[in-house]
Amino acid sequence: MKILTSLAVISLAGLVFSAPTKDDNDGEKLIVTKSMFDKELVKYTGSHDIVKILLPLNSLNFDEDDSSESKSHSNESDSDDIILFFVEADIDSDGKYVDQGLYVLKKGNATKILNHGRDAAAASDNSTEVFFAAADGIYTYNKQKNTAEKYGTIDDSIIGIVKESGSDVIYILTENHEVYKVLNKGTKKEKLDDVVNAKQIVLDPSNNLYFYSDDKKPYTRTHEGVKKIEGLPDNLSSQSSVTLVKPPFMIKDGVVFVVENNVYIIYANGTSEEAGFEFKPKAKPSAYAPEAALLQYYALDKKIYEFNVLTMLMSDIVDELKEFLNNKSEDIKSISKKSRFSHRQNA
């Protein structure tokens, strides 16, 4: 089911903390500019490009067992207790990543926990598990020690990882662009022969797999098989800049797909639609984490920015944005009521 553009606006509203710019040629499309990334929103500054961000939507950050109102409120509007994972890398002249480490950001302190970590994944469930892709296999997060520990026996050089909700299944993307289904606590892997030469993989909340290959065109893999996504620009080529992004939790059967500077929602049924956003070239993030919808993280120019929509709605912000958010306040409140746990219960 397709979402309305207005819902897409809400799900990515954290990007808009100054008055949205409208392009006369693009109607109601919101143009995201670099000025929207205010220095007061910086959560972390690194020494290298930030190429991956993960905000786990499980009990590591949102604990259903703690029923206290203060804890729940803290998780929604006060981000001090949020645990975030990110990957730093240098990018060479060919566009390839040179590993600079996987980090955990906890209570404002960043700790490198994996020198050759390349990606992170967590299911939207009641667990506290987080899994990491690395040059020598799969690792998992030890919350008590704040460290990464080897998981299973697989030793492939892995560049991408995703975790299913409701099962122990992990999918990995190896450096030679093969995708495997990992089972039995990381001791068994099965190659997905119908996913050919994948460059990136992402799961939606319904456990549908998305990938793109050399032609930069996205595909979805469901129980019905592999299907090409339709409705995207015809001029996609091997030179196009594309990125798959894990979606805000309200989008059950789709993910975000960034084509050059434009944002689309692509769906498991093979359809797509514009999300109503366009990045100015210098404002295009290097990493995205919009999963929680009202608390989102984006990387730009070696910095991680935090956009907390609820805090922005209650703060003393510019009148134009205040009006924009107030007009969407009922939608925002509805999402807020659902956002603590429904992304797990309905996954």
Measuring CA to CA, which residue among 134, 129, 122 is closest to residue 89? Answer: 134
Per the CB < 8 A criterion, the answer to whether 125 and 347 are in contact is yes
Token code pair at residue 312 = 């922005």
pLDDT of residue 74: 39
Residue type, 95: G
pLDDT of residue 117: 98
Q: What is the CATH number of the domain that holds 315?
A: 2.120.10.30
Measuring CA to CA, which residue among 332, 337, 293, 117 is closest to residue 205? Answer: 293
For strands 200-203 and 188-191, give the pairing. unpaired
pLDDT of residue 119: 98
Separation of alpha carbons 236 and 234, rounded Å? 6
3-class secondary-structure state, position 10:
helix
For strands 242-245 and 209-212, give the pairing. unpaired
Q: Provide the residue count of the chain.
A: 347
Token code pair at residue 1 = 């089911």
Q: Distance between the two ends of the chain, CA-based, in angstroms?
A: 15
For strands 272-279 and 30-32, give the pairing. parallel
Measuring CA to CA, which residue among 212, 102, 88 is closest to residue 147? Answer: 102
List the pLDDT tens digit at each of the 347 positions of the chain.
233 333 333 334 433 323 334 444 445 677 888 988 889 889 999 999 999 999 999 999 987 554 433 333 334 445 788 999 999 999 998 888 999 999 999 999 999 999 999 999 999 888 999 999 999 999 999 999 999 999 999 999 999 999 999 999 999 999 999 999 999 999 999 999 999 999 999 999 999 999 999 889 999 999 999 999 999 988 888 778 999 999 988 888 999 999 999 999 999 999 999 987 889 989 999 999 998 887 889 999 999 999 887 676 666 544 545 565 566 566 655 655 555 444 444 43
Domain encompassing residue 22: 5-345
**Sign of the CA dihedral with 155 first, then 163, 145, and 115 last:** positive
The model carries a pTM of 0.85
Domain count along the chain? 1
Measuring CA to CA, which residue among 137, 139, 117, 130 is closest to residue 54? Answer: 130
Q: How many CB atoms lie within 10 A of CB 303?
A: 17
Q: How many CB atoms lie within 10 A of CB 48?
A: 16
Q: Tell me which DSSP letter residue 203 carries.
A: E
pLDDT of residue 3: 31
Separation of alpha carbons 198 and 347, rounded Å? 25
